[in-house]
Chain A
Amino acid sequence: NAGVMQNPRHLVRRRGQEARLRCSPMKGHSHVYWYRQLPEEGLKFMVYLQKENIIDESGMPKERFSAEFPKEGPSILRIQQVVRGDSAAYFCASSPLAGGTDTQYFGPGTRLTVL
């Protein structure tokens, strides 16, 4: 059973460009969480999605950031008009259920660098 897949692993963008980060959850998992890790910081929750639904986006910046988890295909975190402050590692996690007892399994992350 493959783990959580994220691609690309590294992404370089110039200021003003768009960044698209992809996350394929583990097989059988229908819950996806995105976290951001800034340098020398812990991970911060951004958004929680189930198939075709955003359940909680309370950690997502109000502008330029969006996320989706379509019925088919990976979850996408999209950052429009990137700025230097968006440089960070973005991690996706998945779980089979939504309950608190359910362990979240993390992908290897996408490291975004904005020039």
Chain B
Amino acid sequence: AQSVTQPDIHITVSEGASLELRCNYSYGATPYLFWYVQSPGQGLQLLLKYFSGDTLVQGIKGFEAEFKRSQSSFNLRKPSVHWSDAAEYFCAVGARSGYSTLTFGKGTMLLVSP
């Protein structure tokens, strides 16, 4: 069965500093990988996704993520955090065969300090 681990429950970053959110997955093969962001009381917005090809994926709002097969990781990064980035971030995996329901990590809450 597939699973996703986001080891950091909360992270606090100063505005303007760089950010890296960790995501490790367990899956029998290379899965499809996603990062979603959820603002308080809102739904989930897709930040970026990895299906194949270049292992460095660019997303919206200046985010990027790198797929590392050897480490089973798909960490999310941003070079300079803005106060509006404060939200909860979810990593998810989907199967490559047939239909694809998503398995989510428990999320990382990002707090941005002035």
Contact = CB atoms under 8 A, between A and B. Distances in A.
A65 interface: no
A41 B6 CA distance: 11
- Which range holds the interface residue count of chain B? 20 to 34
- Which range holds the interface residue count of chain A? 20 to 34
A52 interface: no
Contacts of A105: 46
Interface stretch (B56-64, B69-77, B79-87, B100-108): B100-108
A99 B107 contact: no
A98 B97 CA distance: 10
A78 B84 CA distance: 36
Contacts of A93: 102
Contacts of B98: 98-100
B95 interface: yes
A103 interface: yes
B43 A106 contact: yes
Interface of B: 4, 6, 32, 34, 36, 41-46, 49, 51, 90, 92, 94-107
Interface of A: 4, 6, 31, 33, 35, 40-45, 48, 55-56, 59, 91, 93, 98-109, 111
